[in-house]
Structure 1
Amino acid sequence: MSRTRISFAEARAIIDRVADARRLPAERVALARAHGHVLAADIVAAIAQPPFDNSAMDGFALRHADLQTDGDTTLRLIGEQFAGRAVALEVGPGECARITTGAPLPAGTDTVVMKENTRVEGDHVSVLEAPSPHQHVRRAGEDTRAGERILHAGDVLTPARIALAASQGLAELEVARRPTVTVFTTGDELVEPGLPLEPGQIYNSNREQLMGLLRADGLEPVAWPTLPDDPAQVESALRHAGHAFDVVLTCGAVSAGEKDHIPALLQAQGDVQFWKVRMKPGMPVLFAAGGKLGDALFLCLPGNPVSVLATWLALGRPLLDRLQGRAAARPHWRARLVRPWRKTNERLEFLRGRLQSSDDGSLEVEPNPADGSHRMRAAADSDALIVLAEGAREYPAGTVVDVLPY
């Protein structure tokens, strides 16, 4: 007997445990294709950054000891060092060298004066405003030392982290393979956008919503044609997908109605981990390993569009993150309610809301009064889910609550 009507915390713990046991293998990808992937192995710096002392400004490299404490200092210009290949230039007492940003510091120098603070006359440079010792000099290794761990397994490869890896000369990175994901929508009532509606039909909005959420996370999901409310066709399609993908996502046909065939199919041929979670919206959500239907993990979401959004953000996204070994959790903030809210149900609730900043800089969230799971406009007008704990209670304005940004 699978777990049913469990708490949201239990559901998350089960998803974490199953995903950890199914961690996806690592692969090597070109640096240019690594953006958004999860790093699979630590990166240790092979070289220091900067690799040599260099100038932070366009100006003149000099010996700080040569500067006069009272009045201007005039130094003899003996050469120039531009960014690029280092030249054999050594600066002695009373001398200086022209230098550009990023150029290696010539031997004998320890300070750079900005070009704007000098006057050049022939081969002599007058320092009009003396820099402090070592000013405008970037020291070798001040950012990264050789042998230092600079990126960790589980890090998401942001553009800044990719740049850090590039600064080490790495052309490839070892990353977790991204999961292959397929999306099913179900129901005889669904019609594709652009086609005419017959009485009793609605347009299929869940497919585009779920496909968009997956693409926004850097995945390349595959959408199947809408499944009719026919158990044989549902079984055939899910069996095929279960042998071809890492994760199968379905929308609809997961409750206890006459046309909800997915729970019975997975109870009979899969390994159901849980069915029904004490959450609102999205209670009928089902999570299973494929069993006889293949090696895929099945996350079966309810059919109402807001339920799809809530269950994906709260359960689906953490599942795919965990499969890739993502170390850092997604943003989970706390904000003050702009206005009061009465929670009348016992389940943990995900309410739609819009984040904003107060005059004092604190984070606020305004709940949307349209809280029905079919009311997609409320979700479209919002940018976060407000997390209200189990149990009915009053939430006065100003109450601090957890929020989950889209």
Structure 2
Amino acid sequence: MSEASAFPTRIAYAEAIAIVERVAAAHRVPAQRVALARAHGCILAGDLAARIPQPPFDNSAMDGFALRHADLQAGGEAVLRLVGEQFAGRAIDLAITAGQCARITTGASLPAGADTVVMKENTRLDGDRVFVLVAPKRGQHVRRAGEDTQPGESLLRGGEALTPARIALAASQGRAELEVARRPTVAVFTTGDELVEPGLPLAPGQIYNSNREQLMGLLRADGLEPVAWPTLPDDPAQVESALRHAGHAFDLVLTCGAVSAGEKDHIPALLQAHGAIHFWKVRMKPGMPVLLADGGGFGDALFLCLPGNPVSVLATYLALGRPLLDAMQGRAAARPRWRARLASPWHKAHERLEFLRGRFLSRDEGSLEVEPDPADGSHRMQAAADSDALIVLAEGAREYPAGTVVEVLPY
């Protein structure tokens, strides 16, 4: 396939990301209502406001005794008369007046007239007399109604990923369901006559298929439920048939291999003939041959075609695939990229932007460092397995002394 084409090629990574975001916006998945148990990790489809005050009533933060702070002496012991009990989950018409107190448990509603709670450990009980040994401050150990949220206040914003804490916040408002972006459906293809499934014997010239499990694991870690297809042989008719089938059934088709410029790399020509290529080849290392296309005659799916080397698969998924899926779901904020200092120097001898494998090091004084792995070849999966982040090195050859602050993309 000639590179003198209408689509962008050999573009900068920043341009590729801009195209990814634009294309993903045109392929936003619809919203759906799901139970809280199914909403973990999903992207909230719209803003969520509080329905009730939280806490819904004044309640105790401690096991102890509810009292009137005005009854406490400035110094020494105070003695109050115990007139009742208030336990969590059972509201009763209990009230205290001057010189009285009530036993109370954590989370129980505060009796009328009380404004303070003294911890049980700071009291002594003798019959119906409660001796306050350590006087609490006015209002101590009391959670006031609505001090966390008031009705109508913003709880969560559309586009936020639903973390366990955000799910709990919605649950505290009585929400049993949430409107979220439907998780994109993803088909995963690996290609190549040389691939053999783990567990089978290898013939000369064959290698085991590691890309399928790597991609499936990355997608599952991002909350998706991908479908793996059988490995495709280097046969254009079979590749075309499989891509057409998947393109009509899934939101995104991810492929590994057959995307460069070799005699057996059929995918670019097929997508040029039947789809609409948004870009092919990005000035990044590893993973330059990556391709993004609309299905066109292959269906409504997006096609993100990754190189075949396993480290290239890892880098291109993290750098382009994950942002694509996030944007398809309407994620409002990009995932955080960290800053760390290089633990050792690095010589960058090429011009492309590089995603170098590295391992985080947390120093005793509180600094964050990242140790680059010298095994930087795109076939060196051991280096990727020993690492937990990609170090982002900008375009251009240069020296990176130890201590240089670099951008880091966690796995």
TM-score range, shorter chain: over 0.9
Q: Post-superposition shift, 1:33?
A: 1.1
Q: Does 1:292 align with 2:297?
A: yes
Which amino acid letter does the alignment assign opposite residue 272 of structure 1?
I
Aligned length: 406
Deviations 1:194-221 (A, max 9, x none): 0000000000000000000001111110
2:19 is aligned with 1:30: no
Moved over 4 A (4+): none
Q: Tell me, in whole angstroms, the C-alpha distance in 1 between the residues paired with 2:208 and 2:243.
A: 23
> Could you tell me which amino acid in structure 2 is paired with residue 296 of structure 1?
A
* Residue 52 of structure 2 is aligned to residue 19 of structure 1: no
Distance 2:97 2:159 in 1: 50
Residue 360 of structure 2 corresponds to which residue in structure 1? 355
Partner of 1:383: 388
Worse overlay, 78-87 or 235-244: 78-87
CA distance in structure 2 between the aligned counterparts of 1:294 and 1:160, rounded to whole angstroms: 38
Which among 80, 94, 97 is matched to residue 92 of structure 1? 97
Q: Decide which of 42, 47, 51 is 2:47's aligned counterpart.
A: 42
Distance 2:118 2:159 in 1: 43
Helix, strand or coil: the match of 2:399?
Answer: strand
Q: Superposed, which structure 2 residues align to 1:82-231 within 5 Å?
A: 82-231=87-236
Residue number in structure 2 paired with 1:329: 334
What are the Cα deviations for residues 234-253 of structure 1, in whole angstroms up to 9, with x where unaligned? 00000000000000000000
Between the aligned partners of 1:291 and 1:353, the Cα distance in structure 2 is: 39
Aligned partner of residue 326 in structure 1, secondary structure: coil
Partner Cα distance (2:77, 2:365) in 1? 48
Alpha-carbon displacement from aligned partner over 1:36-60 (angstroms, at most 9, x marks no partner): 1111111110000000100000000
Please state whether the residue corresponding to 1:119 is helix, strand or coil. Answer: strand
What displacement does 1:90 show? Answer: 1.1
Offset, 1:354: 0.2
Counterparts of 2:359 and 2:266, CA distance in 1: 36
Determine the structure 1 residue equivalent to 2:253.
Answer: 248
The amino acid across from 1:401 in the alignment is V
The aligned amino acid for 1:327 is A
Amino acid at match of 1:77: L
SS at match of 1:315: helix
Please report the RMSD computed on the Cα atoms of aligned residues, expressed in angstroms. Answer: 0.6
Distance in 1 between residues matched to 2:145 and 2:364, nearest whole Å: 43
Instruction: Give the equivalent residue in structure 2 for 1:338.
Output: 343
Instruction: Give the superposition deviation at 1:331.
Output: 2.2
Task: For 1:284, give the aligned amino acid.
Answer: P
CA drift of 1:85 comes to: 2.1
Residue of 259, 268, 278 corresponding to 2:273: 268
- Which residue, 390, 395, 398 being the options, matches 2:400? 395
Letter in 2 for 1:382: S
What's the CA shift for 1:29? 0.4
Amino acid at match of 2:360: L
Counterpart CA distance in 1 for 2:7 and 2:369 is 39
Identical columns (%): 81
Q: Is residue 79 of structure 1 aligned with residue 92 of structure 2?
A: no
Inter-partner Cα distance in structure 1 for 2:182 and 2:86: 45
Equivalents in 2 of 1:365, 1:204: separation in Å? 30
How far is the alpha carbon of 1:359 from its aligned partner?
Answer: 2.6
Work out the CA distance in 2 between the residues paired with 1:124 and 1:361: 52
Tell me how far apart the structure 2 counterparts of residues 74 and 55 of structure 1 sit (CA, whole Å): 20
Q: Which moved more, 1:354-363 or 1:219-228?
A: 354-363
Residue identity in the other structure for 2:365 = D
How much has 1:108 moved relative to structure 2? 0.4
How far did residue 328 of structure 1 move? 2.3
CA displacement at 1:358 relative to structure 2: 1.8
- Per-residue deviation, 1:23: 1.1
Distance 1:55 1:287 in 2: 57
Unaligned runs of 5+ in 1: none
- The CA deviation at 1:327 is 1.5
Q: Counterpart of 1:182 in 2: which secondary structure?
A: strand
Report the Cα distance in structure 2 between the residues aligned to 1:23 and 1:249, rounded to whole angstroms.
17
Report deviation, 1:294. 0.5
Residue in structure 1 matching 2:239, options 214, 225, 234: 234
Cα deviations by residue, 1:243-287 (Å, 9 ceiling, x for unpaired): 000000000000000000000001111100000000000000000
**2: distance between equivalents of 1:218 and 1:355?**
24
Q: Which amino acid aligns with 2:275?
A: G
Classify the secondary structure of the residue corresponding to 1:75. strand
SS at match of 2:297: helix
Q: Aligned partners of 1:89, 1:214: CA distance in 2, in Å?
A: 55
Shift of 1:155: 1.1
Q: Does 1:367 align with 2:372?
A: yes
